[in-house]
Copies of this chain bind each other. A is one copy, B any other.
Amino acid sequence: MPATDASSASNMRSLERAIDVLEVLDSSTQPLRLSEISRRAGLHVATTKRILTVLESRGRVEHDEAGFRAGLALLFGAHAYLESSPLVAHARPVVQELASVTGYTASLFARSGLARAVVLRVEGTSPMRYVLPTGERLPLTLGAGKVLAAYLEPDELERLVESEQDHPSATGERQTRAELDRDLAAVREQGYYFALQERAIGVGSIAAPILNAEGRCVAGIQIAGRVQELTELREQEVAVEVRRAAAVIAQKLG
């Protein structure tokens, strides 16, 4: 993860920078040293330290010999989001239904910046022990992420491909820009995307975008299963269900 763009001419520099620091910690599962954080965030060490000290005193960062990590207090925010988001409230029964109808693990996900996060997940009948847990930062350029990428503004898409130039798929293949564009176009035409082993090995998924009244993509819904259980044979059949679920949520959102 390269340094976040320090260009932002915000009117609250220190807060922007604190969020830069948080984003660095958010996307690391290992403790990071002060110097490493300042490097990744593109900030002066002194600045980084001041920010970390405040965040730590508020429980949003933890700290030991090994370095700095995300803090316990961050759980509160996630809980509040899941409890208060209308998207989540409307989608929950639909995701549930999709899982039980198809038997696959069903998930709702949404975009945040140039990444996405799984927001809701319901296990299917054959539980997958490959975990795709709530809150993980996932790319937009692989697998189900593409249904979100397909509705980015052109300039956002450009920023995305620049920043993600080196995200090989799970099988090690590297997709060209042309391939990506083709997939995104397919999403817009067919209203769904069928991915095999793009983001995780042995796993396939069928995903559909959720569009609001203005045609903006506000989230995506997907089912996922082991590749051997998710053959092309059922593609059509399952895709219909996924798209139907997406439509129901979209309609509920008004």
Contacts and interface: CB of A to CB of B under 8 A. Distances in A.
Contacts of A12: 14, 18, 50-51, 54
Contacts of A31: 84
B15 A73 contact: no
Interface in A54-106: 54-55, 57-60, 62, 64, 69-86
Contact of A84 (B19, B28, B119): B28
How many copies the complex holds: the figure is: 2
A80 B84 contact: no
Contacts of A76: 23, 26-27, 112, 117, 135, 137
A119 B54 CA distance: 22
Contact of A135 (B26, B75, B84, B119): B75
Contacts of A22: 77
Interface residues of A, number: 55
A60 B117 contact: no
Interface string A104-130: 000000101100010100000000000
Given A73-B112, A73-B113, A62 B78 contact: no
A190 interface: no
A11 B50 contact: yes
A232 interface: no
A16 interface: yes
B29 A83 contact: yes
